[in-house]
Structure 1
Amino acid sequence: MNLLEKTFQKDGCSIHYWLTPNQDAPWLIFLHGAGANHRMFKDQLKSLDEQFAVLLWDARGHGKSRPMGPNFSIKLLMDDILSIMDKEMINKATFIGQSMGGNVAQEIAFYYPEKVENLILIGCTWNMQKLTFTEKLTIGLTPLIMSVYPWDLMVKQSIRASSVKYEVQEYLRNAFLSIGSHDFTKIFLATANCLHTEEDYKINKPILLVCGEHDNTGNIKKIAPIWAKSEPQCEFHWIPDAGHCANQDNPEEFNKLMTFFLRNKLL
């Protein structure tokens, strides 16, 4: 798939993004996970054709989008991608988000539902869930834990928790190391603190929610089927032989689900 690379200057960061020259088609916007970059979706691009217009990015602080700028938050990422959509005159899109990217997609659906056609969420926790006391305590202690955690050990454990595939782990290792410990910590903490309980809130958009059967990060594996049952337009699937980065660990299985969903909802 032929992509054009562009940049967008905002809040102290040169944000790099890629999009298809053919834009007279339903838009798909891919949002990568924390510490990764746009290349995490390379296997998904192979399964798409010119029936879709595609946009990917390196979120601020990731990949080529450096420096991060003075601030980082999920809401700032939401503002960044909406600004790019305005620049490219994209009124509405299907958002495909992995982990942190899925958190951003949920915030767009919450604050700007008119911008969202559908959601495809991969290894993503539920932004609006009600946390248990233990989960709140864990999030509260996260800054202290990360301040004393050795960087090499953090990278090693993060990549093992994220993927069951050696080549994906190596991709993540290189992506994490290119960010560095300071910015990686800011990204991790911002992602952990993006949750906000919204009683009785429903996204009320068509959702494809997937989770790798070996995803052991946070509470994602526990919360995913509960979340799916709460949404009237959500279909949920376990991805076999896959961890947190299910679209990379088992692209064949994920791509089948993704393309069927997209063709059913958009074509």
Structure 2
Amino acid sequence: MVNLDAKLPLAGCSVAYRDSGPPGPAVLFLHGAGADHVSFEEQARAVVGSGRRAVVWDMRGHGLSRPNTSPITADQFVADAEAVISGLGLGRPVLVGHSLGGNMAQEMVRRRPQAYSGLVVIDATWNAGPLGWMERRLLRLAAPALALIPARTLPGLMARASAVTDAAQKDLARAFSRVPKHDFLAIWRATVSFVSPAPRYRTPVPLCLIRGAQDRTGNIAKAMPAWAEHEEIGEVVIPDAGHVPSQDAPDAVTTVLLRFLDS
């Protein structure tokens, strides 16, 4: 596990991070809901090895970035990420976001496209994509459905739904178990709120889309190919990986990431 050796004080929470430091262009990793920085451990190490600057962190309410006394909202997550970028002087980083982190990264680019050099989205739905009535209904019902699951069984259930390898499932269960259920539900509601259809919107920075072939969460398996077609780019599908390919198939994801950064 990467040691997060520093903290940045923010309103209601001090977020834990590790910054490999200059030189080189910066890459900021944004993990998924309920997960933590370990999701990107292999990729961050490879980014540093390529001569770039890598920053991993635990977002508010996750991992080592606890306790948190402020409301957990989509705007707060974005503000926290922008504070990390400003506080560490990252310039115009490439954003690499998984799931919640991918939704966050999309929103950050949408708000301030000039502030970022590129966007890598891993197994997150398309924020600006069209939604059918059934997809809208499922989004509304997701948090109430999760609320019905007993707190003691939720981490294991979410881990098994997210990963296909034993090692990834074990680590995700560890991460999920550190997030109290009431916080996880707030995190989930924040994730869903990033979805805001805008049919004419196109991503204004270089974009890379990565998806695990066995991801069955939400509408990602449908939305990401449609997004790739809309942007007129190729989608990279990682075999033998679920919702968290950075842990199910770390070498494959690392190869794709470095190739994108080099381009």
User: One fold, TM greater than 0.5?
Assistant: yes
Match of 2:240 in 1: 241
- 1:68, 1:183 within 8 Å by CA — same for their partners in 2? no
Match of 1:218 in 2: 218
Deviates more, 1:127-136 or 1:240-249: 127-136
Identity %: 32
RMSD: 1.6
* C-alpha deviation, 1:121, in angstroms: 1.0
What does the per-residue CA deviation read over 1:60-87, in whole Å, with 9 as the maximum and x for residues that have no partner? 0001101222211222111111112111
Taking the TM superposition and a 5 Å limit, the aligned residue runs for 1:113-124 are 113-124=113-124
Distance 1:218 1:228 in 2: 17
Give SS of 2:237's match: strand
Unaligned regions of 5+ residues in structure 2, if any?
A: none
- 1:18, 1:55 within 8 Å by CA — same for their partners in 2? yes
Distance 2:183 2:235 in 1: 33
* C-alpha deviation, 1:50, in angstroms: 5.2
Match of 2:33 in 1: 34
Letter in 1 for 2:229: K
What TM-score results when the alignment is normalised by the length of structure 2?
A: 0.94
* C-alpha deviation, 1:194, in angstroms: 1.9
Letter in 1 for 2:246: N
Moved over 6 A (4+): none
Match of 1:209 in 2: 209
Match of 2:170 in 1: 170
Deviates more, 1:186-195 or 1:121-130: 186-195
- 2:60, 2:77 within 8 Å by CA — same for their partners in 1? yes
* C-alpha deviation, 1:140, in angstroms: 1.7
Deviates more, 1:42-51 or 1:211-220: 42-51
Taking the TM superposition and a 5 Å limit, the aligned residue runs for 1:25-174 are 25-48=24-47, 49=49, 51-174=51-174
What does the per-residue CA deviation read over 1:176-211, in whole Å, with 9 as the maximum and x for residues that have no partner? 111121111111122122211113011122111011
Give SS of 1:120's match: strand
Distance change in 2, residues 1:198/1:166 (3 Å) = same
What TM-score results when the alignment is normalised by the length of structure 1?
A: 0.93
Give SS of 2:5's match: strand
Give SS of 2:121's match: strand
Distance 1:4 1:115 in 2: 25
What does the per-residue CA deviation read over 1:15-58, in whole Å, with 9 as the maximum and x for residues that have no partner? 1111013x131110011111111111111133231510111110
- 1:122, 1:210 within 8 Å by CA — same for their partners in 2? yes
Distance 1:213 1:142 in 2: 22
Distance 2:252 2:146 in 1: 34
